[in-house]
Structures are given as structure tokens and as C-alpha cells.
Amino acid sequence: MSEQESPKQQNLKTSERLVWVGFMLFFVVILAIYIARGNGLEQDLSEANRDLLQAQMQLQQYTRHEVPRPVVLGLTNAHLQDLQRRGMVRPDERLANDLMQQTDLIPHQASEGESYEFREDGIHVLNHQWVLANFEGDAAHGQLLLAYEVVHGNVLWEVLESTLDRF
């Protein structure tokens, strides 16, 4: 019996070895596929990064001169402080209120029985030098571009340009 079992045991050992070799080959093949796939993904990522960089460079080339910088309207903090040093409290409001009382700055002759007045919501302080003001009467409306200077809290106005549109 021991002689018969011995060939069976050898067959089992050979079978076990074949199974183990099969598992090992299977794992080696899976590992090779995993590594190859990882290398392919890295190459795809590198290629995508190159394409993205190239697209960004083209976009920068196309928009280098076409994209305007935003224009800042109104008084900056530095201008507000400067006007306050010149004796003006709350410069935006003060400029608008002073201009509302200066209707004689409107250089256009109104029709008989009509007068022009500045619109309170139409006065826009553009910067530390200029104001754009809308005015209107019964049969016309217009705009003034004014330069201003603040001296000891008083505002000195100068009309730079004006338009008048009749209804």
C-alpha cells in the first residue's frame, strides 16, 4: 500500500504545484496588466496637461490686447481723504448738493417759461476732477461734463462739455 500511495501523493504534489504555478501566473498577468494600465494613465495625464498648457498659451495670446481693464469710477479712499483735508465733509454728497444749487452753470437757454434743473439721481462723481451731471426741463434734457476743484471747503466748477436734446 505504501508503494501505491506514493504515486498518488506524487500526483497530488504535482497537481498542487500546477495549481500554485497557475495562480502565480494568473497574479503575474494581473500585475502586468495593472502596471501597464498605470503607465498608460500617466501618459494620458501628461498629454492632457500638455494640451491644457497649449490651450492656455493660445488663449493668452488671443486675449492679451483684447481684454480691457475695468474702469474705476468714483472717488477712491485717497481722494476722499484729500478732499476731507481740503475742508469737505462727505465729498460725494457735498458735491451733488453744491451742484444742485448751481443751475446757472447750465449753458443752454431754456424756452420761455421753462428752466433747467439738475436731476438729483443724475449727478455722478467720476473721479477727483470730473462730474457728469444730467439736467432737464419741460421740453429738453441734457448732460454736462464739469471739472471741479475744492479750495478751503468751497467747490469751484468749470463746464467742460455739454449736450442738449429736445423732446
In one-letter notation, the amino acid at residue 144 is L
- pLDDT single digits (tens) 39-56: 888 888 889 889 999 998
- CB neighbour list of residue 124: distance below 8 Å, 6 or more residues apart: 73, 131, 132, 133
3-state SS assignment for residue 107: coil
With cell 497530488, the residue in question is 12
How is residue 104 annotated by DSSP?
A: G
Alpha-helix residue ranges (DSSP H) falling in 64-123:
77-85, 91-100
- pLDDT single digits (tens) 69-99: 777 788 999 999 999 999 998 998 999 999 9
Task: Judge if pTM exceeds 0.75.
Answer: no
Q: Using an 8 Å Cβ cutoff, are 129 and 147 in contact?
A: yes
- pLDDT single digits (tens) 95-142: 999 999 999 999 988 888 788 999 999 999 999 999 999 999 988 999
Across 26-88, the runs of DSSP E, i.e. the strands, are none
The pLDDT confidence band at residue 166, using thresholds 50, 70 and 90, is confident
